[in-house]
Amino acid sequence: MSNDYYATLGVRRDAGADEIKKAYRRLARELHPDVNPDPETQERFKEITQAYEVLSDPKKREMYDLGADPFAAGAGAGAGFGGAGFPFSDIMDAFFGTAAARGPRSRARRGRNATLRVELELAETAFGTTRELAIDTAIVCSTCTGSGAASGTHPENCDMCHGRGEIQQVQRSFLGQVMTSRPCPQCGGFGSVIRHPCPECSGDGRVRTRRTIKVRIPAGVENGTHIQLAGEGEVGPGGGPAGDLFLEIVERPHAIFERDGDDLHCTVQIPMTAAALGTKVTIETLDGPEEVDIKPGTQSGQVIPLYAKGVKHLNETGRGDLMIHVNVETPIRLDEEQEELLRRLSQLRGEERPPGKFAPGQQGFFSRLRDVFTQG
CATH number for the domain including 297? 2.60.260.20
pLDDT string in tens for the chain (376-residue length)? 457 888 888 888 888 888 998 888 888 877 766 556 677 777 888 888 888 888 998 888 888 887 777 766 444 433 444 443 344 444 444 444 444 445 688 889 999 999 999 999 999 999 999 999 999 999 999 999 999 999 999 999 999 999 999 988 777 665 566 777 888 999 989 999 999 999 999 999 999 999 999 999 999 999 999 999 999 999 999 989 999 999 999 999 999 999 999 999 999 999 999 999 999 999 999 999 999 999 999 999 999 999 999 999 998 899 999 999 999 999 888 899 988 998 898 888 887 766 665 555 555 544 554 554 455 4
Cα(8)–Cα(202) distance, rounded to whole angstroms? 56
Q: Choose among 205, 109, 102, 101: nearest CA to 155.
A: 205
The number of folded domains in the chain is: 2
Nearest CA to 72 among 167, 136, 3?
3
- Which helix (DSSP H) or strand (DSSP E) does residue 207 occupy? strand 206-217
Domain assignment of residue 81, given as a range = 5-96
Give the domain CATH number at 75: 1.10.287.110
From 67, 96, 125, the end of a domain falls on: 96
- Which residues carry a binding-site annotation for Zn(2+)? 141, 144, 158, 161, 184, 187, 198, 201
Q: Would you say residue 170 lies in a domain?
A: no
Q: Kind and range of the H or E element at 45?
A: helix 39-55
Binding-site entries: 141, 144, 158, 161, 184, 187, 198, 201
HEC-encoded secondary structure of 108-170? CCCCCCEEEEEEECHHHHHHCEEEEEEEEEEEECCCCCCCCECCCCCCEECCCCCCCCEEEEE
Report the distance separating Cα 246 and Cα 265, nearest Å. 30
Element (H, E) at 213: strand 206-217
In the prediction, which pLDDT does 159 show?
Answer: 92
Is residue 157 included in any domain, yes or no? no
Task: Among 96, 116, 150, give the residue marking a domain's end.
Answer: 96
